[in-house]
């Protein structure tokens, strides 16, 4: 029987995190996580409650921990380090940012190690077997839109990383907490009062951040792949009415490649995977300001005509 | 150490990779990742047709790193073409060193190897011309501090590393294989005279097989660049295996080391390839290499240091002396690099006068 994180009492979770660490399954990745930083266990029991907790596992994809650097600063300005198998890939952050750092670190693990996938900086959501890929630079409202959509019936594959399996072009889910920043946090909290949020953390490098729990259904279906259906470049523009404009495939290709982490690293494999996704998808530019209008536009999306 | 790290067991006996448990794989993947040998393991498995037998989870990681290694080889080939183009007009003989040489000479050591920069060697009197030509084609100096410039130009065996402004690739231009200030001076002229023209490129050369082995030995056991210690040892071992079929390789190896003043690094290289990786080395060569053997107390000390420092930098392969061993070897490498007074001056400058980059 598979136990979920919610099956552990908070004190037990904290104890295990401190002692042996826990083994979490997020999508197809298995992470061994160890930490004794106060507060992290709380965030995990809140946002990862529905994730499978592997009691016995021989193999983990990533061995990570959060720890406090052992220098003098710990007494007056404590910090936190993200450790990947014992070594820090990044500089430490203020201790208060431990949980956001864990989230960023876990994204880094995937984006730097999982080169069997073409990885694009994009949100991915699915409905009716087809996935919509929302590639976008920070500030375009991608995460806000994604958070709204997954609260209105779309399945969350990822709010940050589109993973396209090089061998068959399928999109691999990685449903993890959705990262929201600054005004987006209040907007989504008002939009969906039932959504579960971690507490706000101020003054991070991205401003104020909070994480929203992924919908339970997305977590249950975390190993169910999807077929690319739409590539949509969202852009939040104050006061604009929702506008979906067709984008030539060639333009879409270049723009999505700009948002890829390992496109050039994968060489011809990357090109072929990307071309496969673009060929199978309808491509659009999407400008919006009102979330309800955006939801309506997405609900009206026509599935691509299958090439078969 | 009681039992050798798992990664050593599979490097010694690659066939053992087929029968690892999932828990073993967990450890091997981590040790190999830290030693930059993950793609090398993939190459070993592929050569033996064993890759299909690896369980899917570790295979993800092996293939991920195989993709990176393939890309690195492609980039090295492309970069070499651009370097040739940049240097075409000067007409100096260019010798590719280390990784770039393995790739272009299609040696097995190139498979599954990751690269950070490209090393070339040119005659000392053409350094200025080569530097100017590279700058014209977009490579720029990286060390702007006046002291660093002087350090490289007066004392070292290479120019300060140059980085391409568009591609960010780095080239190290050498005129010798060890610093000018070091105790031993492998004569670059002798190395150049023996260098072989690369198949298909009349303007590019690589070191003769024996010199390639001696150079990588000097790099690891004289310069003590230990960040990739185990990987570099694996390189040497794979060169030894590959060249062992050449008719006079084993008989001439030690004589050539004498000629190039590299008997000590060769002794260490053969010793630790045999000890750590179980590389087969003929007894006669091993005996002849004893000319480079240090005194017993020295050897005992070095043994303690190298058997630790050549392990993967992973918690599962370290004991409480590992850190000390690495630091001592770093100090030793600097000691061998320049005379004591010069070293004192250099360290003083680096500690108190050089600008700090936070």
As a whole number of angstroms, the distance between CA A277 and CA A307 comes to 12
As a whole number of angstroms, the distance between CA B294 and CA B308 comes to 19
Q: Distance between the two ends of chain B, CA-based, in angstroms?
A: 37
Per-residue CA distances from B162 to A70, B82, B117, B134, B142 (Å): 36, 14, 10, 9, 6
Residue among A308, A158, A130, A294 nearest A218 (CA): A158
Query: A307 pLDDT exceeds 60?
Result: no
Question: Among partner residues A63, A114, A267, which is closest to B64 by beta-carbon distance?
Answer: A114
Mean pLDDT of A286-305: 93
Q: Where does the pLDDT of residue B183 fall: very low under 50, low under 70, confident under 90, or very high at 90 and above?
A: confident
Q: Which of A56, A86, A113 is the C-terminal boundary of a domain?
A: A113
- On whether residue A202 sits in a domain, the answer given is yes
Q: Which residues of B touch A56 (CB under 8 A)?
A: none
Q: Where does the pLDDT of residue A139 fall: very low under 50, low under 70, confident under 90, or very high at 90 and above?
A: confident
Summarize pLDDT for A169-215 with one digit per residue, the tens: 999 999 999 999 999 999 999 999 999 999 999 988 889 999 999 99
Query: Which of A25, A58, A262 should we substitute to test contact with B (largest number of B Cβ atoms within 10 Å)?
Result: A58
Tell me what pLDDT residue B2 has: 52
- Which A residues 100-159 touch B at CB under 8 Å? 113-116
User: Are residues A100 and A122 located together in one domain of the fold?
Assistant: no
As a whole number of angstroms, the distance between CA B139 and CA B17 comes to 43
- On whether residue A304 sits in a domain, the answer given is no
- On whether residue A230 sits in a domain, the answer given is yes
pTM exceeds 0.80? yes
Paired strand residues for A53: A3, A24
User: Are residues A88 and A128 located together in one domain of the fold?
Assistant: no
CA B59 to chain centre: 27
Q: Which residues of B touch A (CB under 8 A)?
A: 21-23, 25-26, 30, 33-34, 55, 57-58, 60-61, 63-65, 67-68, 70-71, 74, 314-315
Summarize pLDDT for B307-337 with one digit per residue, the tens: 888 887 777 777 777 777 777 777 777 667 6
Strands A155-158 and A130-135: unpaired
User: Are residues A107 and A125 located together in one domain of the fold?
Assistant: no
Instruction: Give the sign of the dihedral formed by CA A135, CA A138, CA A140, CA A145.
Output: positive
Among A65-79, A86-100, A284-298, B16-30, which stretch is predicted with the lowest mean pLDDT? A65-79
Query: B357 pLDDT exceeds 80?
Result: no
Q: Which of A81, A113, A145 is the C-terminal boundary of a domain?
A: A113
Paired strand residues for A245: A285
User: Are residues A32 and A53 located together in one domain of the fold?
Assistant: yes
Tell me what pLDDT residue A80 has: 92
User: Are residues A126 and A193 located together in one domain of the fold?
Assistant: yes
Mean pLDDT of B180-197: 88
User: Are residues A32 and A169 located together in one domain of the fold?
Assistant: no
Question: Among partner residues A61, A87, A265, which is closest to B57 by beta-carbon distance?
Answer: A61
Q: Which residues of A touch B61 (CB under 8 A)?
A: 61, 113
Proportion of chain A above pLDDT 90, given as a percent: 81
Q: Where does the pLDDT of residue A308 fall: very low under 50, low under 70, confident under 90, or very high at 90 and above?
A: very low
Total of domains in chain A: 2
CB B22 within 8 Å of CB B59: no
- The verdict on A61 touching B (C-beta cutoff 8 Å) is yes
Tell me what pLDDT residue A72 has: 66
- On whether residue A305 sits in a domain, the answer given is no
Tell me what pLDDT residue B304 has: 81
Question: Among partner residues A116, A266, A269, which is closest to B60 by beta-carbon distance?
Answer: A116
Tell me what pLDDT residue B358 has: 43
Are A269 and B26 in contact (CB < 8 Å)? no
Proportion of chain B above pLDDT 70, given as a percent: 95
Q: Which of A57, A91, A113 is the C-terminal boundary of a domain?
A: A113
User: Are residues A295 and A162 located together in one domain of the fold?
Assistant: yes
| Secondary structure (DSSP) of A40-93 | HHHHHHHHSTTSEE-SS-S--SEEEEEE---SGGGGTS-EEEEEETTB-SS--E
Mean pLDDT of A285-306: 91
User: Are residues A24 and A80 located together in one domain of the fold?
Assistant: yes
Are B315 and A86 in contact (CB < 8 Å)? yes
Tell me what pLDDT residue A69 has: 84
Summarize pLDDT for B146-158 with one digit per residue, the tens: 777 777 777 777 8
Mean pLDDT of B57-70: 94
Paired tokens of B324: 């000390």
Summarize pLDDT for A264-291 with one digit per residue, the tens: 899 899 999 999 999 999 999 999 999 9
Mean pLDDT of A293-304: 93
Per-residue CA distances from B188 to B122, B174, B179, B185, B193 (Å): 9, 10, 11, 8, 8
Q: Which residue of A has its CA nearest to B68?
A: A265
As a whole number of angstroms, the distance between CA B237 and CA B276 comes to 10
Query: B92 pLDDT exceeds 80?
Result: yes
Quote the domain boundaries for residue A228. 118-299
Q: Where does the pLDDT of residue B291 fall: very low under 50, low under 70, confident under 90, or very high at 90 and above?
A: very high
Q: Where does the pLDDT of residue B255 fall: very low under 50, low under 70, confident under 90, or very high at 90 and above?
A: very high
H helices, E strands: number in chain B: 16, 7
Question: What residue segments make up the domains of chain B, in order of their start?
Answer: 6-353
Q: Where does the pLDDT of residue B223 fall: very low under 50, low under 70, confident under 90, or very high at 90 and above?
A: confident
DSSP B124: G
Q: Which residue of B has its CA nearest to A115?
A: B64
As a whole number of angstroms, the distance between CA B116 and CA B161 comes to 12
Among A149-163, B189-203, B317-331, which stretch is predicted with the lowest mean pLDDT? B317-331
Are A116 and B34 in contact (CB < 8 Å)? no
**3-state secondary structure labels for all residues of B243-312:** HCCCCCHHHHHHHHHHHCCCHHHHHHHHHHHHHHHCCCCCHHHHHHHHHHCCCHHHHHHHHHHHHHHCCC
The angle formed by the CA atoms of residues A267, A273 and A275, to the nearest 5 degrees, is 100
Q: What is the arrangement of strands in the sheet containing A178-181, beginning at the earlier edge strand?
A: A178-181, A207-212, A201-204
Query: A115 pLDDT exceeds 80?
Result: yes
B6-353 in CATH: which number?
A: 3.30.460.40
Q: Which residues of B touch A61 (CB under 8 A)?
A: 57, 60-61
Q: Which residue of A has its CA nearest to B63?
A: A116
Query: Which of B60, B73, B227 should we substitute to test contact with A (largest number of A Cβ atoms within 10 Å)?
Result: B60
For A209-223, give one letter per residue: b (16+ CB within 10 A) or e.
Answer: bbbbbbbeebbebbe
As a whole number of angstroms, the distance between CA B332 and CA B50 comes to 41
User: Are residues A183 and A256 located together in one domain of the fold?
Assistant: yes
Query: A145 pLDDT exceeds 60?
Result: yes
Are B58 and A60 in contact (CB < 8 Å)? no
Q: Which residues of B touch A266 (CB under 8 A)?
A: 67, 71
User: Are residues A141 and A267 located together in one domain of the fold?
Assistant: yes
What is the ipTM for the molecules in this complex? Answer: 0.88
Task: Return mean pLDDT, chain B.
Answer: 87
Q: Which residues of B touch A60 (CB under 8 A)?
A: 26
Q: What are phi and psi of A130, to 5 degrees?
A: -100, 140
Tell me what pLDDT residue A1 has: 57
- On whether residue A308 sits in a domain, the answer given is no
Proportion of chain A above pLDDT 70, given as a percent: 97
Instruction: Give the sign of the dihedral formed by CA B179, CA B195, CA B115, CA B324.
Output: negative
As a whole number of angstroms, the distance between CA B166 and CA B83 comes to 14
CATH number for the domain including A154?
3.40.50
Tell me what pLDDT residue B335 has: 67
User: Are residues A93 and A169 located together in one domain of the fold?
Assistant: no
Q: Where does the pLDDT of residue A153 fall: very low under 50, low under 70, confident under 90, or very high at 90 and above?
A: very high
**Alpha carbon of A37: minimum distance to chain B alpha carbons (Å):** 21
Task: Return mean pLDDT, chain A.
Answer: 92
User: Are residues A109 and A123 located together in one domain of the fold?
Assistant: no
CA A225 to chain centre: 15
Among A56-70, A80-94, A116-130, B215-229, which stretch is predicted with the lowest mean pLDDT? B215-229
- On whether residue A92 sits in a domain, the answer given is yes
């Amino acid at each position: 029987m598979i136990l979920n994180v919610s099956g552990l009492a908070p004190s037990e979770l904290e104890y295990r995190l401190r002692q042996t660490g826990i083994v979490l399954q997020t999508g197809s990745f298995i992470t061994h996580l160890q930490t004794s930083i106060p507060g992290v266990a709380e965030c995990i029991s809140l946002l990862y409650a529905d994730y499978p907790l592997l009691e016995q596992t021989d193999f983990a994809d990533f061995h990570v921990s959060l720890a406090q650097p052992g220098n003098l600063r710990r007494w007056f300005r404590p910090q936190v380090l993200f450790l990947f198998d014992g070594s820090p890939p990044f500089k430490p952050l203020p201790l208060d940012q431990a949980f956001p750092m864990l989230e960023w670190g876990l994204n880094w693990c995937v984006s730097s190690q999982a080169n069997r996938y073409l990885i694009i900086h994009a949100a991915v959501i699915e409905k009716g077997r087809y996935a919509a890929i929302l590639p976008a630079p920070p500030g375009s409202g991608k995460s806000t839109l994604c958070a709204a959509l997954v609260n209105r019936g779309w399945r969350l594959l990822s709010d940050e990383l589109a993973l396209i399996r090089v061998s068959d072009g399928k999109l691999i889910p990685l449903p993890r907490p959705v990262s929201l920043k600054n005004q987006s946090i209040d907007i989504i909290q008002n939009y969906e009062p039932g959504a579960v949020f971690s507490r706000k953390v101020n003054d991070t490098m991205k401003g104020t951040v909070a994480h929203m729990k992924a919908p339970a259904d997305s977590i249950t279906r975390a190993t169910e792949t999807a077929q690319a259906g739409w590539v949509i470049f969202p852009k939040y523009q104050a006061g604009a009415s929702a506008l979906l404009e067709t984008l030539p495939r060639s333009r879409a290709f270049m723009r999505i490649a700009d948002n890829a982490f390992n496109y050039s690293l994968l060489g011809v494999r990357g090109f072929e995977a990307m071309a496969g996704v673009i060929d199978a998808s309808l491509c659009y530019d999407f400008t919006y300001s009102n979330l309800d209008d955006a939801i309506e536009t997405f609900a009206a999306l026509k599935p691509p005509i299958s090439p078969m | 150490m009681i039992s050798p790290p798992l990664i050593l067991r599979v490097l010694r006996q690659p066939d053992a990779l087929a029968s690892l448990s999932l828990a073993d794989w967990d450890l091997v993947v981590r040790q190999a990742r830290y030693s930059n040998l993950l793609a090398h393991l993939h190459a070993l498995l592929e050569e033996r047709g064993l890759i299909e037998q690896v369980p899917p989870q570790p295979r993800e990681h092996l293939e991920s790193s195989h993709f990176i290694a393939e890309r690195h080889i492609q980039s090295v080939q492309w970069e070499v073409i651009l370097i040739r183009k940049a240097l075409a007009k000067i007409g100096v003989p260019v010798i590719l060193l280390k990784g770039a040489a393995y790739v272009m000479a299609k040696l097995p050591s190139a498979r599954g190897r990751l690269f950070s920069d490209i090393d070339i060697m040119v005659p000392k009197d053409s350094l200025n011309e080569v530097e100017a030509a590279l700058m014209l084609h977009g490579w720029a100096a990286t060390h702007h501090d006046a002291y660093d410039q002087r350090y490289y130009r007066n004392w070292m065996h290479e120019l300060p590393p140059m980085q391409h402004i568009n591609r960010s690739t780095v080239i190290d231009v050498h005129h010798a294989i060890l610093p000018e200030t070091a105790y031993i001076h492998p004569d670059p002229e002798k190395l150049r005279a023996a260098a072989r023209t690369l198949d298909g490129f009349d303007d590019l050369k690589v070191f003769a097989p024996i010199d390639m082995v001696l150079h990588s030995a000097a790099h690891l056991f004289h310069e003590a660049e230990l960040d990739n210690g185990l990987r570099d040892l694996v390189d040497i071992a794979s060169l030894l295996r590959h060249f062992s079929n050449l008719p006079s390789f084993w008989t001439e190896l030690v004589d050539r080391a004498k000629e190039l003043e590299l008997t000590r690094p060769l002794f260490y290289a053969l010793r630790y390839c045999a000890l750590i990786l179980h590389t087969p080395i003929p007894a006669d060569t091993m005996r002849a290499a004893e000319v480079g053997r240090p005194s017993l107390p020295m050897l005992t000390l070095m043994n303690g240091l190298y058997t630790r420092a050549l392990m993967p930098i992973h918690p599962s392969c370290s004991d409480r002396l590992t850190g000390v061993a690495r630091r001592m070897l770093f100090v030793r490498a600097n000691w061998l690099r320049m005379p004591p007074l010069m070293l004192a001056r250099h360290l003083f400058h680096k500690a108190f006068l050089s600008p700090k980059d936070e």
